[in-house]
Amino acid sequence: MALAGLLEIADREFQAVQDEDERLRQEARRAVQQGELARVEITPDALKAYLDKKLGSDGRMTAFSYDYTARLLYKLGFTNFEQIEECMANYDDDLVSKAVRGTRQGQLTRFEFQLLASMGEIYIERHLWATEDWFVQGSREHLQKMRQAGIQIGSYDPLKRNHISGNMQGEKSQPAA
């Protein structure tokens, strides 16, 4: 009987953890929808909600893809969605995508191209694949295509939040305070 009681307690505790996790997910989604981005932690679920709102839903993406991209964002130095919003502010996902690939790409590819355009070499240096020659060379080729299309490459650094970011018309915006 004691074992059954322990299992019942464990089951209740596990359910409480699951309920709290779901509550936090719902709260993050609500904050994204309301634009309260500074308080939203970067999680795969929150990233999906943010990108669905920002770039449109893409049913082809898997949970693994959002998990990978959330890990990438942390590696790049991001800690919340306000930084991501600031980073991407001057870059149109369709224009950047078309400059690199000639056509509109999927949600996460467009997002990564925006990050590459706004962060430039910082993106390449901090990326999860920064030690892979094929990645570095390919990313620099993407940057060159963007430049040829008139897209100014930025130097946004979420670790410093003091950067120069380009915009789509080639003008420089003021460094962030």
Question: Phi and psi at residue 64, in whole multiples of 5°?
Answer: -60, -40
Angle at 122 between CA 116 and CA 128, to 5 degrees: 80
Quickly tell me which residue has 């018309």 as its tokens.
169
Q: Which residues in 39-171 belong to E strands, given as ranges?
A: none
Tokens 């295509």 sit on residue: 145
Considering the domain boundaries, does residue 110 fall inside one? Answer: yes
Dump pLDDT digits (tens) for 80-119: 899 999 999 999 999 999 999 999 999 999 999 999 999 9
Query: Would residue 140 count as lying in a domain?
Result: yes
- Which one-letter DSSP state was computed for residue 39? G
User: 38 lies in a domain?
Assistant: yes
User: pLDDT tens digit string along 4-29?
Assistant: 666 677 666 666 556 555 566 566 66
Asked, for residue 174, whether it belongs to a domain, the answer is no
Give residue-wise pLDDT tens across range 138-167: 999 999 999 999 999 999 999 986 444 444
Q: Is residue 39 part of a domain?
A: yes
Per-residue model confidence (pLDDT) at position 23: 60
- What's the total number of domains in the chain? 1
- 139 within some domain: yes
Cβ distance 81 to 50 under 8 Å? Answer: yes
Please name which of 20, 43, 17 lies closest in space to residue 32, comparing C-alpha atoms: 43
pLDDT confidence of 51, banded at 50, 70, 90? very high
Cβ–Cβ under 8 Å, residues 172 and 137:
no
Model pTM score: 0.75
Query: Sign (positive/negative) of CA torsion 147, 149, 152, 154?
Result: negative
Listed range (39-53, 89-103, 162-176) with the worst mean pLDDT: 162-176
Nearest-angstrom CA–CA distance, 7 and 3: 6
- Quick check: is 176 in a domain? no
For 124, list phi and psi in degrees, rounded to 5. -65, -45
* Residue 112 belongs to some domain of the structure: yes
Place of tokens 């600031």: 86
For residue 123, the enclosing domain spans: 2-148
